[in-house]
Structure 1
Amino acid sequence: MTKNTIKLLDVVALTADLPEYNLYRGQVGTVVELLAGGAAFEVEFSDRNGRTYESAGLRPEQIMVLHFEPPSPDPVSEMMLA
């Protein structure tokens, strides 16, 4: 399994409630800035019309990257199966 690295413009979901920001587990946002050398992330939350309603600096354990396509096969794993 490859390490799930969070990158700029990744679509992410909250893994924890953040009531101080009126944000709750499962809400979806976009990483708009890498903070502290990639140790934290500025995530922007927008409505269906693209209007930002909140922006928060979050730690990696507070978010998970959403994937819209299956992962590419790992060539090393495939070679081991052959």
Structure 2
Amino acid sequence: MNKSRIGLLDVVALTADLPEYNLYRGQVGTVVELLAYGAAFEVEFSDRNGRTYESVGLRPEQIMVLHFEPTSPDSVSEMMPA
């Protein structure tokens, strides 16, 4: 399970295959609804043109939040110099 708090509009990736929805590990979606007081999440998967092709309720252990910036000062020090 992801230790980061998952919030509305977070960009997430699947951590498990969901073949019944034609979704597979690594696919990226957006949290569009908090379900069961944050115990589950409605995640919308869209194509490059912004058209939704699937929307499904997921448990926290099925997704991970993607980070586009360092999440802590420690993570910066672990980066290799160019």
Q: TM-score, normalization: structure 1?
A: 0.84
User: For the aligned residues, what is the CA RMSD?
Assistant: 1.2
Task: Report what 2:27 is aligned to.
Answer: 27
Amino acid at match of 1:12: V
Count of residues paired in the alignment: 72
Map residues 36-51 of structure 1 onto 2, 5 A cutoff.
Answer: 36-51=36-51
Q: TM-score, normalization: structure 2?
A: 0.84
Rg larger for: 1
- The percentage of aligned residue pairs carrying the same residue is 92
C-alpha displacement of 1:71: 1.5
Kindly indicate whether residue 9 of structure 2 is the aligned counterpart of residue 6 of structure 1.
Answer: no
Q: Which runs of 5+ in 1 are unaligned?
A: 75-82
Structure 2: distance between partners of 1:4 and 1:13: 13
Determine helix, strand or coil for the equivalent of 2:23: coil
Q: Which has the higher contact order (CA 8 A, sep 6+)?
A: 2
Aligned structure 1 segments of 4 or more residues deviating by more than 4 angstroms: none
